[in-house]
Structures are given as structure tokens and as C-alpha cells.
Amino acid sequence: MVFSSIFGGIIVLAGYSLIAPKPTIIQQTSERNPLALTNYVFDSSDFIVPEGLNFVFAAKNATPSVVHIRTKYSGSEGSKNAFNDLFREYFGDRYEGQERESRGAGSGVVISSDGYIVTNNHVVENATGIEVVLNDNRSYEAKVIGVDASTDIAVIKIDEDNLQPLKYGSSEDIQIGEWVLAIGNPFEFRSTVTAGIVSAKSRNIGILDRRSAYRIESFIQTDAAVNPGNSGGALVNLNGELIGINTAIASPSGSFAGYSFAVPSSLVSKVVDDLVEYGTVQRALLGISIQDVTAELAEVEELDVVKGVYIGGVGENSAAEAAGLVRGDVIISIDNAAVNSVAELQEQVAINRPGDEVVVGFIRNGERKVANAVLRNSSGTTEIVELVSDFDSEGATFTEISNELASALNLDGGVQLSELRNGKWRDAGISKGFIITKIDKQKINNLEDLRSFLREPKSDGILIEGMYPNGNKAFYGLGL
């Protein structure tokens, strides 16, 4: 019996060893595990930052070129002169300093050693005083060189030499997923650096819809943390090069909630050059009405593609008409750069000037074609547009509204009737000094908007809205 029990046990053990799962064995190939306490470091040289994640060089290179901008506004309600609630929240809450003075704050980027600085238009718009504080705490009064509401870019200047300008990088070459740094002055915290990645490019967020007929939205979207005060600051790549100007955030509260948006450097550099050289932006136009190609549009219009930009109309005496483009064509590239949306098309055209020639790739009836288009200005010519201080129309002379008057009336744009002679404007009952803010419910921000609107033929009269310097609002009908 004993023998049988022992023999049976041996058989059971042998059988289990054959069917039981074998354990996984992890062999250590190093005698020392790479462990370190996060709260106890003897020598930082023991730590190596992985290639592509080292932000130190970019931060050191770019931070000295980013400045703090402080603005003053006359008028007891100066905080209302910013053109959009989101922008007002973003670039810094204005607060009451005196009975008739309010203040704001933002950021800017030095772009030349002799004192030129780029920022957002909404940071300095209608300001009666602008102070620039450099990274080393030196403070200067600044003057406005030029502004462009269509891209929300402005150029200001201080009297100083030997500044450290930030080099432009290529916003066109940057890829989605690349690391970027946002540098600015959020909540008055000077020279703050945050990191994130490029989340998207050529993003249209509709924030400039009420500003200009020539608005251009082709933002770089990132998840780098930005807050009120960052507006006008730098978005840089890991080489410390400027690839964008931080402009807006997507936020229900006005503070950072995940995404921020920057004007790409390709557009910034072109606008800055125009403002410095001419005082106004040389706007290049194809002269077409456009929309994104969608699956629904492709079905309705019987298109052979579901991406690109659909031409819904071609203007007379336009660059597109001269190049042979027609309604129904789908633009897919500009100068060999792919165009899949209206935002991408606007950016590729906007980096040019009137008179420049671009190669337009398009699809017509399923065939790929190309056309050479010589871009034109809003007047339909290739001439340089000069900065003008007034505009004459039907016995009336108009000028830009002054910053002081705009602040006093809480306006963020408009043109003023400075001289009145015999003509349609006087016949309509309008008096000298009247400020036009809207025509046919379209906002009139400046002389360029007024000229563009009046240049288009009208079959009926127009409705003019505005106010007088005493604050009285008025409406007039004018036959043209």
C-alpha cells in the first residue's frame, strides 16, 4: 500500500509538470536600474534631455526679443473700444485708472535692432498712449507705424538701437505635431514661456468676421498655454525662430482652455514689410468668390473632387478673369502649394503683392489645369496703393476718425465727413462731422472699406448708419 501511494504520487507530479504553464522570466541586462529620486538631485549633468524636447535654447534665444506692452485709453468706458469680446478678454482686462482713463496690456516682438516691434492690432487699437517694457526692464514710449485689422497685425516703434530682433522662421514648413513655445506676458507675469505642439494649420475661427471685407484667417492652432496678456507675443519653433504671433484663444471663460491661435509668420512678415514701407498693406486679390469644397457641394455641383476651393463667381476686370478662371473651377494649388480650404488659399494669395504672378492649379470638368494669374489690388490694377488721409465722393470729403474721438465715443472704427459741398451727401441731409460706422449693415472701419463699398455699382440707394461727435446716432438714405 505504501509503495502504491508513492508510485501514484510520482505519476501525478510528472503529469502536472507536463501540462502546467511555464512562467515568463525577465532577464536583467544591466547591473543597475536607471532610477532616480525626483526630489533629490546632486548634479543636473546626470540628466540628458531627449533630442527634440530641449526647449532651453529656443527660450533663451527668443525671450529677450519679446516685450511687454501697456496701453492707455481716454474715455470713462475705454474698455469698450476693443472690437471683440474675446479679444478684450484675451489681451488683458482693462481697468479704471482715473475717471476718464482705462488701461490695457499685451505683448510684442522686436523685429529690428532699431526699434520696430510687431504686435496685434487689437492690443494697440485706439490707444492714446503706448508704453513698451523690454525684457531688461527698460521702458519707452512707442508710436504706431501702421495697423491692419484684416490680419490683426500692427507695427509700433520705439527710439532705441542695438535691440535683439527675433529671426523669422518658416510657418509654411512647420508640421502638425512639432513642438512650439509661446512667449509673452500673461496676467502681467513677465517673459512667461509655455510649450505645446502644432495642433492644426490654416484654421479659420471666424474671429475677424466683423472687421474687414478683406479679412484673412489662416491661424496656426497650438495647445501651448496662453492667457490674457499673451496676445501679440511670439510663437517660436525649437530653433528659437518666430513662426507666429499669438492672437486668440478658444475659451468659454476668457482664459486658456486648451487651444490658442497665432497668425503665421509668412503672413506677418509680409504685412509688416508693407506697413513699414508704405504705411498700408498692399493687398493682392484674385477677384473671386469662393467656398470650401464639401461632399454636399460636390454632389450638387457634380464635381469630381471633394477637396479644394470652389469658385462661385469671378469678378469683372479681375486677375482671375484675365487668367481664364471661370465659375465652377476648383482651385487645388497656388504656386505648387496645396490648397484644400479657403483659409489656405487666402494665406497663399495674401503673402503676395499686386503685380505678382502666381500659378493657379485647378480642376475643370475632371481635368487638372494651370493658369498664370497676375494679382491685382482692390481697384483692379497692379499699382502700389498709397496711404491716403482723405477720400472724396459726390461733394463730400472723408477722413479717418481720430483715436481720441473714437475712444470718447467708444467706437472701434469709422470714417468722418470732414468737408461738405453741394452734392448727394448734402442732399441726403447729412451734416459735417458725421461719422459713418455702417453702410447697408456692413461695418465701415476705415477709408479703404468706404472706397471699396462705394466703388461697387448699386442699383438702389444705400442705408448709412453712424453718429455725430456729440454722441447722437443717425440714419440716412443715399441714392447712388
Judge contact between 126 and 403, C-beta under 8 A. Answer: yes
What is the residue type of 187?
F
Environment class of 373 (CB within 10 Å of its CB; exposed 0-12, middle 13-18, buried 19+): buried
Per DSSP, the three-state class of 398 is strand
Q: Which triple of cell numbers denotes residue 455? A: 466703388
Per DSSP, the three-state class of 86 is helix
**How far, in Å, CA of 468 to CA of 432, rounded?**
9
Q: Please work out, in degrees rounded to the nearest 5, the angle formed at the alpha carbon of residue 454 by the alpha carbons of 452 and 459.
A: 125
User: What's CA 57's distance to the chain center, in Å?
Assistant: 26
End-to-end CA distance of the chain: 123
Taking phi over 0 as left and psi of -120 to 50 as alpha, with beta for the rest, 321 belongs to: alpha
Residues paired with 477 in a beta bridge: 463
**How far, in Å, CA of 133 to CA of 136, rounded?**
8
Environment class of 85 (CB within 10 Å of its CB; exposed 0-12, middle 13-18, buried 19+): exposed
3-state DSSP percent of the chain in helix, strand and coil, to 5: 20, 35, 45
Say whether 122 is catalytic: yes
Residue in 74, 150, 152, 407 annotated catalytic: 152
Sign of the C-alpha dihedral computed for residues 80, 82, 88 and 94 taken in this order: negative
Q: Please work out, in degrees rounded to the nearest 5, the angle formed at the alpha carbon of residue 290 by the alpha carbons of 285 and 294.
A: 150
Residue in 65, 74, 102, 122 annotated catalytic: 122
Residue in 212, 231, 260, 333 annotated catalytic: 231
User: What's CA 214's distance to the chain center, in Å?
Assistant: 13
The catalytic residues are: 122, 152, 231
